[in-house]
């Protein structure tokens, strides 16, 4: 039977101004790892050392998801892998841990995060406001790394940047702050580039900036020193004396000179030489990459709740939900059919549970789930076996009703009002249900496919 007080370990020095009734103190990481895993760990160590300890703890399966706070200053590694500064008192730690533990229990009961993807999503979901932070690191050829992904990868080879953009495309993660924009070798992907000026004519490296003059009489252009003779300016070509700038001569724009081909030119050409593979590229051929922090998106949070707590098909699982893309495809196909053969019609209902996410987090995980269960019950009574459903986020729910015309649609909508009755209880009264519906082909717009139709209807639900 788990107690409601977390077992706390402190690594490093004892924390002087923290009111902790009970904790165990460890002087080194080895003895902490040898003990039975603690619920919360406080690191009373200087930032650089705390960062290294966090890397080790996050790669150990017993401390992968644990709340770990840093009691002293923090560096980038601490921010990326830890849970921030240490709360000021024991009751705060207890509260944070209480919320964490509620989710962790669901997650332990659930299928278990064997895949890298689920491990990362679970880590983020277990803590509020968690980010995947990018960290500048001169050791890596791309200049930036994501310490959390590296730690959770175990021994899998992960391409962090590719993985993150895939996750963002699928809406599980959303982009946070733009940290930097880096340019990478288009051949080997390294960011260790040396930008060099080369001759615009022959691309030789050996060029120099050289003040030059332009004689108006004969048009000769040459280095300034070749015009200097016994302290006066004299054109080396036509031997005319150059007295007045603007009248006799001027300074041409061309002030680079190539020592290889002797050409004069205005702007040197820039090349990026990759220090890793040795190839040269013009700057516009380099791969540009934005480096960002990431956080769990609404759809990702929703997926975690589903995946980690819906074992044996509870909740909305019973409704045979189709994923976004499958639902779009099915809808697009139905639209094509109904455009050719208008009879029988089909209908589509969109529901939006306004404030559902916020209310669920007020209720806490357990009561929130009980409530979601009752909503799913009512929906199940409404939906017929031939209907198909999809949820695009926590708040949006779609029902496609094949062979259903306007009249049939009205019956279903009447049954749906039973769902809205659930939101009359005071603790959930913030939730309201918005409904939108269409019958195809009558209400379809020109050229509309499944995805466009859902986007239009979602707009009406906002």
How far apart are alpha carbons 193 and 394 in whole angstroms? 45
Minimal distance in Å, beta carbon 219 to Zn ion? 7
Q: Is 405 exposed, middle or buried (0-12, 13-18, 19+ CB in 10 A)?
A: middle
Under rule CB under 5 A, which residues in 256-315 are in contact with Zn ion?
258, 260-261, 263, 274, 276-277
Yes or no: say if 69 and 89 are a contact pair by the CB < 8 Å rule. Answer: no
| Options 146-154, 186-194, 362-370, 379-387: segment touching Zn ion (CB under 5 A) | 186-194
- Distance of closest approach, residue 207 Cβ to Zn ion, in angstroms: 7
> How many residues line the site for Zn ion (CB under 5 A)?
22
Which residues, 6+ apart, have CB-to-CB distance to 2 below 8 Å? 101
By CB under 5 A, residue 444 contacts Zn ion: no
* Distance in angstroms (rounded) separating the CA atoms of residues 218 and 210: 21
Task: Give the range of 237-245, 284-292, 361-369, 444-452 binding Zn ion by CB under 5 A.
Answer: 237-245
| CB closer to Zn ion, 227 vs 371 | 227
CB of 221 to Zn ion, least distance (A): 10
Q: Specify the residue, 51 or 191, whose C-beta has the smaller distance to Zn ion.
A: 191
DSSP assignment string, 142-179: TSEE-HHHHHHTTT----HHHHHHHHHHTTSEEEEEEE
Q: Locate the DSSP E strands across 387-458.
A: 388-390, 396-401, 432-440
User: Exposure pattern of 422-438 as b/e (b: 16+ CB <10 Å)?
Assistant: bbeeeebeebebeebbb
The contact mask relative to Zn ion for 57-96 (x = CB under 5 A, - = no) is: ----------------------------------------
- Binders of Zn ion among residues 126 to 145 (CB under 5 A) are none
Which of 219, 358 has the CB closer to Zn ion? 219
Q: How far is the CB of 215 from Zn ion (least distance, A)?
A: 3
- Residue number, 227 or 328, with CB nearest to Zn ion: 227
Between 35 and 261, whose beta carbon lies closer to Zn ion? Answer: 261
Out of 235, 322, 433, 454, the residue judged to bind Zn ion by CB under 5 A: 235
| SS3 at position 100 | helix
What stretch of H or E contains 228? strand 228-229
Write the binding mask 248 to 267 for Zn ion: x where contact by CB under 5 A, - elsewhere.
Answer: ----------x-xx-x----
In angstroms, the CA 89 to CA 218 distance is: 86
Instruction: Confirm if 184 and 142 have CB atoms less than 8 A apart.
Output: yes
Among 59, 237, 255, 332, binds Zn ion (CB under 5 A): 237
Contact (CB, 8 A) for 24 and 35:
yes
Residue 6-45 contact track with Zn ion, rule CB under 5 A, x = bound? ----------------------------------------
By C-alpha distance, which of 28, 20, 144, 16 is closest to 80? 144
User: Which residue, 178 or 218, is less far from Zn ion as judged by CB?
Assistant: 218
Q: Does 199 bind Zn ion (CB under 5 A)?
A: yes
Instruction: Quote the radius of gyration of the chain (alpha carbons, Å).
Output: 33
Least gap, CB of 273 to Zn ion (angstroms): 9
Instruction: Give the chain's largest Cα–Cα span.
Output: 105
Phi-psi region of 403 (alpha: psi -120 to 50; beta: other; left: phi over 0): left
Shortest Å, Cβ 364 to Zn ion: 52
Neighbouring residues of 432: CB distance < 8 A, sequence distance ≥ 6: 353, 354, 355, 420, 423
Q: How far is the CB of 276 from Zn ion (least distance, A)?
A: 5
Minimum CB distance to Zn ion smaller for 167 or for 258 = 258
Asked whether the bond before 441 is cis by omega within 30 degrees of 0, the reply is yes
Considering only the stretches 72-80, 106-114, 213-221, 438-446, report the one whose residues sit in contact with Zn ion under the rule CB under 5 A: 213-221
- The window from 25-33, 113-121, 201-209, 341-349 that contacts Zn ion (CB under 5 A) reads 201-209
Nearest to 296 by CA among 199, 443, 171: 171
Residue (201 or 449) nearer to Zn ion, CB: 201
Give the number of other Cβ atoms within 10 Å of residue 43's Cβ.
28
Judged by CB under 5 A, which of 27, 48, 85, 202 binds Zn ion? 202
Number of neighbours of residue 141 by Cβ within 10 angstroms: 16
Q: How far is the CB of 210 from Zn ion (least distance, A)?
A: 13
222 vs 368 by CB, closer to Zn ion: 222
Please pick, from the candidates 117, 137, 187, 377, the single residue that binds Zn ion as defined by CB under 5 A. Answer: 187
Tell me which residues in 214-233 interact with Zn ion (CB under 5 A).
Answer: 215, 217-218, 220
Distance CA 437, CA 94 (A): 47
Q: Which of 166, 238, 370, 425 binds Zn ion (CB under 5 A)?
A: 238
- Residues engaged in binding Zn ion (CB under 5 A): 185, 187-188, 190, 199, 201-202, 204, 215, 217-218, 220, 235, 237-238, 258, 260-261, 263, 274, 276-277
């Amino acid at each position: 039977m788990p107690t409601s007080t977390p077992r706390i370990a402190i690594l490093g020095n004892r924390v002087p101004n923290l009111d902790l009734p009970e904790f165990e103190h460890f002087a080194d990481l080895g003895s902490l790892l040898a003990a039975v895993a603690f619920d919360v760990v406080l690191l009373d160590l200087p930032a650089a050392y705390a960062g290294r300890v966090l890397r080790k703890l996050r790669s150990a399966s017993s401390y992968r998801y644990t709340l770990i706070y840093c009691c002293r200053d923090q560096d980038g590694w601490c921010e990326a892998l830890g849970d921030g500064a240490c709360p000021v008192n024991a009751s705060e730690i207890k509260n944070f841990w209480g919320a964490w533990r509620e989710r962790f229990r669901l997650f332990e009961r659930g299928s278990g995060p064997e895949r890298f993807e689920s491990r990362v999503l679970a880590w983020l979901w277990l803590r509020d406001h968690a980010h995947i932070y990018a960290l500048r690191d001169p050791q890596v050829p791309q200049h930036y790394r994501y310490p959390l992904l590296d730690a959770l990868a175990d021994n899998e080879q992960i391409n962090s940047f590719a993985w993150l953009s895939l996750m963002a495309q699928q809406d599980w993660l959303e982009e946070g702050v733009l940290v930097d924009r880096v340019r990478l070798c288009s051949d080997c992907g390294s960011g260790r580039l040396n930008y060099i000026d080369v001759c615009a004519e022959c691309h030789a490296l050996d060029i120099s900036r050289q003040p030059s003059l332009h004689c108006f009489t004969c048009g000769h252009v040459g280095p300034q020193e070749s015009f200097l003779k016994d302290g006066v300016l004299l054109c080396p070509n036509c031997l005319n004396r150059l007295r007045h700038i603007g009248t006799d001569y001027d300074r041409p724009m061309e002030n680079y000179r190539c020592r290889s081909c002797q050409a004069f030119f205005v702007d040197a050409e820039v090349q990026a030489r990759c220090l890793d593979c040795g190839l040269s590229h013009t700057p516009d051929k380099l791969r540009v990459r934005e480096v960002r922090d990431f956080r769990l998106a609404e759809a990702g949070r929703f997926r975690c709740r589903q995946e980690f707590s819906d074992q044996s098909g509870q909740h909305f699982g019973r409704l045979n939900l189709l994923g976004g893309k499958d639902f779009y495809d099915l809808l697009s196909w139905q639209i094509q059919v109904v455009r050719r053969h208008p009879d029988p019609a089909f209908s589509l209902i969109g529901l939006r549970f306004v404030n559902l996410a916020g209310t669920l987090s007020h209720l806490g995980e357990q009561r929130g789930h009980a409530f979601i269960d009752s909503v799913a019950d009512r929906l199940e009574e409404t939906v017929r076996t031939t209907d198909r459903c999809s949820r695009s986020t926590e708040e949006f729910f779609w029902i496609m009703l094949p062979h259903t015309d306007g009249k049939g649609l009205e019956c279903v909508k009447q049954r749906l009002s039973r769902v809205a009755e659930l939101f009359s209880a005071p603790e959930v009264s913030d939730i309201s249900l918005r409904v939108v519906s269409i019958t195809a082909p009558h209400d379809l717009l020109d050229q509309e496919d499944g995805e466009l139709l859902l986007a239009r209807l979602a707009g009406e639900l906002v």
